[in-house]
């Protein structure tokens, strides 16, 4: 049973905060001891009810209405502007063969396609002046005259009639560091294929006007391949392509490979036998498995969907179906079928470019 004094004290302070003692000396059993005081205690906060407080993002919020999921930004489907690349060097064919009787000299060889007459020139340890119409300048070897070709597929450089002196790399003139890596705008090996545009032909321009390594003109369309030298274990030399650029109507574009356009997403060979069932499946959209692939994801450059599935995908997610990287835009590519044996070009001789694509942009 509690003393009456304690009960009256409870009644007196009922519904109120207990008294605040501050820094007074505390009396215990009627005696004061050493000036001890309880720790500082702030006054009580006023009683509720309290309004609901928002919880940090991602945590449970009691008594709060459910929040709608964040809206995914809609990806832009970009229509391509097709640029017909009249000349195309096949990167895997670029190699260097020792000249018979002189192991210090290497002959440059490669194969290419051309849908119109063109001229070919090669350069060793050359600097590109992008601000001067992509002019090429050599320091230790003199550029030889261009070699002209008629249009055709699977053309071989150098032609049998050439003496080969124009396409020779002299190893004795260079350090290996100059040939094995690029240094800024200086590249160990450069091959340029040039042709005249239809507008240039109408104006009366000819291939004879082209100078080796000269400034690129508006009436010229060209492809320039930049490469380094790689020495294999057996002592042979090959060219490793760093990049390819095309010059169209005064604008330079860097070509980027689209994964899945020439081969399936699983990495099947481009040279697979036509009509095979597995080859046909590799051309199908990875989502519906019905339509052919015609849409590329940027910036990863995976061509893996049809246009209908790409439009549905951009409403639901922003991840590439192949690599799961972020999707910045979608590129729809319309590929025209070329008749077998046609000399108007091949799929490898055409480039699809878009001004909105960060991977195929004007330099």
Mean pLDDT, rounded, for 20-41: 51
Between strands 76-79 and 329-332, the pairing is parallel
Residue with tokens 């008294």, as numbered in its chain = 19
| Residue 145 token pair | 């005259």
**349 pLDDT higher than 70:** no
Give the pLDDT confidence score for residue 36 in this predicted structure.
55
pLDDT bracket for residue 78 (50, 70, 90): low
CB of 227 closer than 8 Å to CB of 239:
yes
Residue spans per domain, the chain: 85-254, 259-332
**164 pLDDT higher than 70:** no
82-139 confidence digits (pLDDT tens): 677 889 999 999 989 888 888 888 889 999 999 999 999 999 999 999 888 889 988 8
Angle in degrees, CA 349, 222, 106, rounded to 5 = 90
Tell me how far apart the alpha carbons of residues 251 and 362 are, in angstroms, rounded to a whole number.
6
Stated pTM of the model: 0.63
CB of 162 closer than 8 Å to CB of 218:
no
Tell me how far apart the alpha carbons of residues 325 and 329 are, in angstroms, rounded to a whole number.
12
Distances (CA, A) of 357 to 88, 230, 328: 21, 32, 9
Low-confidence winner among 70-74, 169-173, 236-240, 296-300 (lowest mean pLDDT): 70-74
Strand partners, 114: 87, 152
Mean pLDDT, rounded, for 143-169: 81
Tell me how far apart the alpha carbons of residues 105 and 129 are, in angstroms, rounded to a whole number.
27
The alpha carbon of residue 348 and the mean position of all alpha carbons in its chain are separated, in whole angstroms, by 19
CB of 273 closer than 8 Å to CB of 279:
yes
Strand partners, 113: 88
**351 pLDDT higher than 60:** no
DSSP 132: G
Tell me how far apart the alpha carbons of residues 127 and 135 are, in angstroms, rounded to a whole number.
8
| Residue 130 token pair | 């992008």
How many CB atoms lie under 10 A from the CB of residue 209? 13
Using the CB atoms, write b or e for 113-147: b if 16+ within 10 Å: bbbbbbbbbbbbbbbbeeeeebbbeeeeeebbebb
Q: Is 86 helix (H, G, I), strand (E, B) or coil?
A: coil
Mean pLDDT, rounded, for 263-274: 43
- The mean predicted confidence, pLDDT, of the chain is 74
CB of 128 closer than 8 Å to CB of 215:
no
Mean pLDDT, rounded, for 234-250: 88
Give the pLDDT confidence score for residue 188 in this predicted structure.
92
Give the pLDDT confidence score for residue 187 in this predicted structure.
93
pLDDT bracket for residue 196 (50, 70, 90): very high
Please name which of 118, 138, 77, 82 lies closest in space to residue 253, comparing C-alpha atoms: 82
Does CATH number 3.30.40.10 belong to domain 259-332? yes
């Amino acid at each position: 049973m509690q003393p009456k004094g304690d009960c009256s004290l409870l009644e007196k302070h009922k519904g109120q905060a207990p008294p605040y003692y501050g820094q007074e000396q505390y009396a215990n059993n009627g005696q004061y001891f050493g000036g001890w005081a309880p720790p500082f205690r702030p006054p009580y906060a006023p009683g509720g009810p309290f309004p609901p407080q928002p919880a940090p993002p991602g945590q449970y919020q009691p008594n709060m209405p459910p929040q709608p999921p964040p809206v995914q930004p809609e990806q832009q489907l970009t229509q391509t502007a097709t640029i017909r690349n009249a000349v195309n060097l096949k990167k895997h064919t670029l190699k260097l063969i020792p000249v018979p009787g002189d192991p210090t000299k290497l002959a440059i060889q490669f194969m290419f396609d051309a849908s119109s007459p063109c001229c070919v020139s090669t350069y060793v340890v050359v600097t590109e002046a992008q601000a001067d119409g992509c002019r090429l300048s050599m320091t230790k070897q003199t550029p030889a005259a261009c070699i002209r070709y008629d249009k055709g597929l699977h053309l071989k450089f150098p032609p049998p009639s050439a003496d080969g002196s124009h396409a020779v790399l002299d190893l004795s003139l260079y350090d290996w560091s100059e040939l094995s890596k690029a240094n800024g705008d200086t590249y160990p090996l450069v091959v340029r294929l040039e042709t005249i545009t239809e507008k240039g032909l109408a104006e009366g321009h000819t291939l004879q006007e082209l100078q080796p390594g000269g400034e690129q003109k508006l009436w010229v369309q060209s492809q320039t391949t930049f490469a380094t030298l790689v020495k294999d274990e057996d002592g042979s030399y090959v060219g490793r392509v760093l990049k390819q650029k095309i010059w169209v109507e005064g604008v330079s574009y860097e070509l980027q490979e689209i994964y899945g356009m020439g081969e399936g997403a699983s990495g099947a060979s481009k040279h697979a036998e036509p009509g095979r069932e597995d080859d046909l499946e590799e051309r199908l959209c990875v989502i519906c498995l019905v339509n052919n692939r015609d849409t590329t994801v940027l910036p990863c450059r995976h061509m893996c969907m049809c246009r209908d599935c790409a439009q549905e995908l951009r409403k639901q997610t922003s991840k590439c179906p192949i690599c799961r990287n972020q999707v910045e835009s979608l590129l729809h590519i319309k590929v025209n079928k070329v008749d077998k044996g046609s000399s108007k070009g091949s799929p490898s001789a055409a480039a699809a470019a878009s001004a909105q694509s960060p991977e195929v942009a004007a330099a």
